[in-house]
Amino acid sequence: MKTEYMYEFSVLGSSLSFSHAAEKLFLSQSTLSRHIAYIEEELGESLLSRSTHYVNLTTAGEIALDAFKSITALYDGFLEKLSDLKKGCKGRLSVGTLLSSTDRYMSVPLCNFKKAFPDTTVSISTYQRFEVVHDILNGRVDIGLACRLNAPECFDDSLGCYDIGRERYHAALPKNHPLAEKEALHWEDLDGKAILLFKNDILYNSYIERLLKNHNVSPKVRIYTEQFETIKSDLINSNCITLVPEHIPGEITMRDIVFIPLEESDAVLNISYFYRKDNANPTFKLFMNTLKEA
């Protein structure tokens, strides 16, 4: 039985007037009568007792009226929830972020998004840069915050990105390093010094190597740290230098480590949201719209 016929009967059963019901439903009285006849034929019961002067519900009609009202209300509620799901209003969003930059770049957009769509579910995981991009490509994360290096080889054709910030590199080095007293550094200051790179981030390493080569900088030695959490001990133990975005010294305090800005026009990188271009999650699309409208 068509749900629209149930709704039409509910309107008629509440008004007990074919003319009023037909007017409210934007139907002709003959069309409404035909639809009610279809219902009665399918149920094998008369739902209305009619004469030229009145329309009343039969006992079966009273039962049908209550049932149809409940069914159509449930169906309308289902359609509303389904519509919200298709729009992403009640969907799920998985977000990956860099631990060091969550507060600076992620807190406000997520707060705005949850305020606009309170019924969505957002899960947040923290990563290192190379890990979040890997999980985006593999579909484990809808969108992730990471540093975007300005080099062609750092892009995958399936990835899209939305830049939200631009930062200067800072050199991180131990307080007892020969360069620790300087207020600013230049590429040539790094010549002949020990440089710390990231063992698992090939793209970052190749990008830094390119910058060093462009400025004729030859490191004394290259040391590879396992992960972000081991930077401090590796810097101190090897008395070396590593390059980090400017939000790192702004949000993370490392005792015995100093951060000095690198004053070069090309010593910059973008902070970006990365995502798969083919991501069909409607909640992800809502988040992107909220992000761009902010």
Give 8-48 pLDDT, tens digit per residue: 999 998 999 888 998 999 999 899 999 999 999 999 999 99
Inter-CA distances, 189 with 88, 155, 205, Å: 51, 30, 19
State how far the Cα of 28 lies from the Cα of 38, in Å rounded to an integer: 16
- pLDDT tens profile 63-117: 999 999 999 888 877 776 666 556 657 788 999 987 666 667 888 888 888 888 8
Do 96 and 83 share a domain, yes or no?
A: no
Which pLDDT band holds residue 251 (cuts at 50, 70, 90)?
low
Report pTM: 0.61
The pLDDT of residue 292: 83
Do 82 and 105 share a domain, yes or no?
A: no
Token digits of residue 153: 């080889």
Structural domain range at position 52: 3-87
Could you give phi then psi for residue 269, rounded to 5 degrees? -150, 160
Q: For residue 115, how many C-alpha atoms fall within 13 Å in the half-sphere facing its CB? A: 9
Higher-scoring residue by pLDDT: 268, 171: 171
Higher-scoring residue by pLDDT: 226, 261: 261
The single-letter DSSP state of residue 88 is: T
The pLDDT of residue 91: 83
Q: Which amino acid is at 86?
A: K
Do 46 and 186 share a domain, yes or no?
A: no
For the chain, the domain total comes to 2
The pLDDT of residue 252: 56
The pLDDT of residue 116: 85
State how far the Cα of 241 lies from the Cα of 257, in Å rounded to an integer: 10
CATH number at residue 26: 1.10.10.10
The CA-CA-CA angle for residues 189, 193, 198, to 5°, reads 110
